[in-house]
Amino acid sequence: MALTIREIDWQDTLSVRHHVLWPDKPVSFSRVDGDETATHYGAFTDGILVCVASIYLSEDSARLRKFATLPDYQGRGIGRQVLAKAIEQLKHQNIKRFWCDARTTATAFYQKFGLSVEGREFVKSGVSYFRMSVSWPEAN
């Protein structure tokens, strides 16, 4: 399976976001304020978009949102490769803090990237989350 990871337009993220994260909501629920200015990554295999991740910058911090891999492609390391590429690029952009609201079921995944749980579990739209983050020294 040849995998290609590249930046994509925000509109291209919506079908994967919707299918994986919020299939019971309208597609518009998968759109995020700031999508137009965020950086969006897509992973393609055999020309099919199978994973998306969106990064929203604010001063010297970056937030991961709407990170999703199609079910048939989960467990193959695709999401890990997408996140590793995004983090690598962020470290060269003077980003000092990387964070996300991680679904409770995904905290172990994010811990592999050095993120730690902050505070208490909370619920958004019926799903349980933890805020997780990592701080980096001065950019490389």
The residue whose two tokens read 């001063």 is: 59
Look up the CATH number of domain 3-135: 3.40.630.30
Q: How much is the pLDDT for 140?
A: 45
Range 24-30 average pLDDT: 89
Question: Is residue 12 pLDDT above 80, yes or no?
Answer: yes
The tens digit of pLDDT for each residue in 87-118 reads 999 988 889 999 999 999 999 999 999 999 99
Its pTM stands at: 0.90
Q: Which residues contact 53 (CB under 8 A, 6 or more apart)?
A: 40, 41, 64, 66, 67, 68, 79, 82, 83, 86
Q: How much is the pLDDT for 20?
A: 93
Q: How much is the pLDDT for 137?
A: 76
The tens digit of pLDDT for each residue in 45-96 reads 999 999 999 999 998 899 999 999 999 999 999 999 999 999 999 988 889 9
